[in-house]
Structure 1
Amino acid sequence: MFKEALIIGIGGAVGSILRYSTGHFIAKQFPNTIPTGTLFVNIIGCLIIGLLIGFFDKYQLINNQWKLLLITGFCGGFTTFSSFAAENLNLINNNQVIQALLYIVLSVLLGILAVWAGLAIVKIID
Structure 2
Amino acid sequence: MNRVIAGALCGVLFGAGLALAQMIDPNKVLAFLDLAGDWDPSLVLVMGGGAGVTALLFPWVLRRSRPQLDSRFHLPTKLQVDGRLLSGAALFGVGWGLAGYCPGPALVALTLGTAEPWLFVAAMIAGSLACKVSLDGG
Same fold (TM over 0.5): no
Please give the TM-score of this superposition, normalised by the length of structure 1: 0.37
Which has the greater radius of gyration?
2
Please give the TM-score of this superposition, normalised by the length of structure 2: 0.34
More helix by share: 1
